[in-house]
Structure 1
Amino acid sequence: MKVHERTSEEISVSPEKIQQLFRRTLMIVVFSQIFGGAGLAAGITVGALLAQDMLGTDAYSGVPVALLTLGSAGAAYLIGRVSQRFGRRIGLAGGFLTGGMSALGVVFAAVTNNVWLLFFSLLFYGAGTASNLQARYAGTDLASAKQRGKAISIALVSTTLGAVAGPNLIGVMGDFAVSMGVPSLAGPFILGAAAFLTAGLVLLVFMRPDPLLVSNALENEKRIDSDNTTNPTPVKNNRGIIVGGSVMVLTQMVMVAIMTMTPIHMGHHGHGLDAIGLVIGIHIGAMYLPSLVTGALVDKVGRTAMASAAGVTLLLAGIVAATAPGDSLVVLILALALLGLGWNFGLISGTATIVDATTPSTRAKVQGSMDVLVALSGATGGMMSGMIVAQTSYAMLSIGGGLLSLLLLPLIIWVSRDNVALKQDKNKKTA
């Protein structure tokens, strides 16, 4: 039997061939994520500094991050819809290429000192960051249920390689930019343009056949075969979507809120930029580097167990951050490492839950919508954190964030009871 993709390509339905395509797709995702991570880091690292330099004030230095977040949320929605209709290749490549062209727009804005072009370009630069996040789903389209956590984790670790390399090239790219008559702070966006455009071209050229279209074709074949058997066709699990989305949204909000105010908190207690950079660097490492272990645990011990671990770990992070002496660098490092680790548990378990709960015919669309909520929750957490600290304290923010993460537990109990009821119902039918 042959499965036809919309591009008229054919692959055999044999499990061996599907696994071969799964591994090939994952390799392509890895390469695109390495470049995409470098582009992602460029915007986050110097966007605010470039705006400050062009405007001559720090009053609007937060605008670039807000525009990146807004653009990322809008792009996530569009990429999900485009991917659902035309496949991952077109959706993700389109997002990366848009981000790359927008990075060139940022460079041109810096050369011409055009602030409005800068803001406009940063808004569309978010398309690259949205593609970078959604690419983790492409590796799961042809994965079995026991491979999904691992596939997600490999994509996240690949992003780390680029995200770590990007900031370390700021000085080099700044010198390169100056040699071309471009302001030094625009240098990282030259790197971002090259990185995003390369990531987009890798996906556009090599992601054939498209994993989502193949997965959808396989589902259609199963639906046809199920008409002649007693095996039911898988359907979308709305409860699983709610739980998976809630896990990602809550962990993102708590993580961003505490992370955003930690450098300010440290500055108030006399810590220098080197100490702040060390804490945030370890935090980012804890967000991504444990992914391979986390992915294996998500596949082995289950999504709900790791989502529960996310809630507990974030609570511990909040408690440690709240009780840490302001001058204790070691305790703050521990708090931010736990914060990153809890986010890692939540993102991978939540993503795997979303994949489990959807079918190929709706998966990309649902995933895009979930990533919109994740982006907006992060923006909300970042904006609210400053207000909360201004009205109370960093300790209250940390405790509040930790307690908020405990909302994951009732959700997990809810879905666990549902799974038990389903198993009992299946056993009754089998008997």
Structure 2
Amino acid sequence: MGLICKKLRLRIYSMDPKQLQIKDFTYTLPENRIAVYPLADRDASKLLVYKRGNISEDVYRNIARHLPEEAFLVLNDTRVVEARLLFQKATGGNIEIFCLAPHTQYADITAAMLQKHRVWWNCLIGGASKWKRGTVLEKKVAAGKGTIVVQASVAERLPDSFTVEMRWEPGNLSFAEVLHYAGTIPLPPYIKREADKEDEERYQTIYARQQGSVAAPTAGLHFTENIFQSLGKKHIEHDFVTLHVGAGTFKPVKSESMKDHVMHAEFMDVRYETIEKLLQSTGKIFCVGTTSLRTVESLYWMGVKLKRNAGLAVNDLPITQWEVYEELAAYKIPARESLKAVLKWMEQRSMKRLITQTRIIIAPGYDFNIISGLITNFHQPKSTLLLLVAAITGNDWEKVYRYGLENNFRFLSYGDGCLLFT
């Protein structure tokens, strides 16, 4: 487990998050502990419950028993798109295009997904060295009673990806429809198999609505209608936010110190009514998944910004990687004041939805402002998601993961999960 002596851990967790060393947030994950397939029943997965240093064990279908009366759950309703496109060159070789995020010319992912006839997308390319600049790749796929012809060409080479221009006929189809017919679900790289028909359903939450993610908000994969019914009987309400998960969620931290790690940006979309519910529920808010948590905590800091300057433009609202630990940290306010500031700002602009971006990184040293707990899966070693877990549990993140390994919990996207109280 790579355990750290207690004295050293206390020193690490009290310092500036920028100075954290990623080597202190790793553990040995055997290959056979990674869940390759989902269980037959979504809510049959095991549930580890961590509260005030104590650990207990149950199954997801009983999660309502462990949540306080009248808690409020926040879930991410993003939907995974078929972001992998496989093209074959005229010479026979294969080129794989993995659609990461829309080009910056589009206001948000929804706008980009609705583009017709042509779109520009930032992509990873498998076999890029074999794709000569200027060569147009073509793919034909059946769609209902007709055929879709998709063409792709490299528009620009970026430091760690490519901008790809894609065109298609018939041009009246949206890019989301093209991906649905021509692409495949992009399973995480640690699930070493091809996606099959079952993944089309099981690598989506039952409440997935807003198309745009390249990875599922996996904590929500365990939720079923039966679970929602049991939550309702305990007067536990829920609502949805949208944060489109990017491939950066799988990106391991390669720098030794966190100050050198670049956090990926993700689009978030929150309705006015949802923020009102958060305002009414402060003190009992639990997030389902790290993406929901990052969205809610980003909302808080946006409110801090607006409390300082109510005239901020939409482009000035996104949260950057470190500002919550630096310039914004001195202006902390109660959660209710922050959320009210966001609502007032939206009212003044007649906004029903707040669509923006966040790069927030949540690591040991972060003080939670809105949430009381997190429901999440087990995460990869040396990942920003593991840092987020450590921000909640402090030194006990190792205790939690050791328990999971020693008690046959299944890890990562299709694996079991945790309920962690702050």
Larger relative helix fraction: 1
Which has the larger share of strand? Answer: 2
What is the TM-score of this pair, normalised by structure 2?
A: 0.23
TM-score (norm 1): 0.23
